[in-house]
Amino acid sequence: MTDVIVRTPLVEVTDLRTWFPIRKGLFSRVVGHVKAVDGVSFTVDAGEVLGVVGESGCGKTTTGRSILRLIEPTSGSVKFDGQELVGLPRRDLQPLRRQMQIVFQDPYSSLNPRMSIGTALTEALTVHGLARGRQATHDRVEELLTLVGLSPSHAARYPHEFSGGQRQRIGVARALAVSPRLIVADEPVSALDVSIQAQIVNLLRDLQRRLHLTYIFVAHDLSVVEHISDRVAVMYLGRIVELAPSRALYRSPMHPYTVALLSAIPIPDPDRRRSRIVLGGDVPSPSNPPAGCRFHPRCYMAQAICRTDDPPLREVAPGHLSACHFAEQAMAMAPGKDGEATGWEETGRLGGTEP
Ligand code: SF4
């Protein structure tokens, strides 16, 4: 008999919206909203890594923070292990906080410069009632530092004595201190040198496997999440435009925006070239998104229907969702995994169409 692996969603996000009011005038009247997250739905299974990718302002960071309720969602549902978080009173949310942690892009700004690393980790344990006696706490701090590749002797040092990569390791140690089940990694390597980025991504991947963690890994670059993600969600202007298993998304992207993002990833071979798709125009304002498909003012495949009809996120292949009227054609334009000649090799530089 074959074993059937049943995967349970640890996180279920349904129609999540996080809007920020725009106020004007003497009485701060609300004159509009910045729709940072505007109807996002996905699930993350226990032990899964979901990469969330998009340009600045696409809503990826706000999505991660709204899930943890570090930013209050405007509407929608976020369930953690079956429990609704949106609208949950603060006192009921507090016990769940331990199970959901965040790793910030810039750990330095979240570390107290006057507190040694050992004290900072002890504080994290104390706040959550996990400091069990002096020796046990000391041992746990040493264990955490070792777990993230630092030396126990680093406990006595202060944040300014560490490099960027080491500080990010401390950020990871602090998140792990409370033995969470979910970690939202909010652009954890964006501020680091390229040479250090891979080390931190590898560390996060090893820890995820060893500790059976669940990650929502936010990044602005598809190449960063490729080797750590089981599935990848691509966001544009507050919405998910493509969601697929990692391998399928990189090999057969089904949204023109994903195709363009992939074209920006350099091939590590000087003898091979890939034509980059340079999107025309700027990202429109999230307070006034374009009608029809939000991507149409910049899309090199836009047709008349794209200006009027908003494409739903639909399943184009098993587990592969795309919000494009022409998802199948977008795939035909995509590069092969190794950058073989494809439709977009011929297409070359492409600008956006007029709105
Ligand atoms: Fe481009 Fe149209 Fe697809 Fe939108 S629906 S991504 S405008 S082809």
Determine the distance separating the centroid of ligand 1 and the alpha carbon of 297, expressed in angstroms: 9
Q: Which residue out of 254, 258, 303, 354 has the highest number of ligand 1 atoms within 8 Å of its CB and is therefore the one to mutate? A: 303
Determine the distance separating the centroid of ligand 1 and the alpha carbon of 245, expressed in angstroms: 21
Q: Which residue out of 306, 344, 347 has the highest number of ligand 1 atoms within 8 Å of its CB and is therefore the one to mutate? A: 306
Domains of the chain: 11-45+55-89+224-332 (3.40.50.300)
pLDDT digits (tens, 9 = 90+) for 115-150: 999 999 999 999 888 878 889 999 999 999 999 999
Determine the distance separating the centroid of ligand 1 and the alpha carbon of 125, expressed in angstroms: 49
Determine the distance separating the centroid of ligand 1 and the alpha carbon of 294, expressed in angstroms: 8
Report pTM: 0.89
pLDDT digits (tens, 9 = 90+) for 267-303: 766 666 667 788 877 888 999 999 999 999 999 999 9
Determine the distance separating the centroid of ligand 1 and the alpha carbon of 221, expressed in angstroms: 21
User: pLDDT grade, residue 341 (50/70/90)?
Assistant: very low
Regarding the beta carbon of 331 and ligand 1, being less than 6 Å apart is answered no
| Mean pLDDT confidence for 81-88 | 96
Amino acid code (one letter) for 137: T
Shortest-distance atom of ligand 1 to CA 307: 7
Closest residue by CA, ligand 1 atom 6: 324
pLDDT digits (tens, 9 = 90+) for 194-206: 889 999 999 999 9
Of residues 348 and 24, more confidence is placed in: 24
- Nearest one of 103, 91, 215 to 148, comparing CA atoms: 103
Q: How would DSSP label each residue in 235-253? A: EETTEEEEEEEHHHHHHS-
Shortest-distance atom of ligand 1 to CA 296: 7
Q: Enumerate long-range contacts of 193-199, CB under 8 Å, 24 or more apart.
A: 193/164, 193/165, 196/163, 196/164, 196/165, 197/224, 199/165
Is the per-residue pLDDT at 353 higher than 80?
A: no
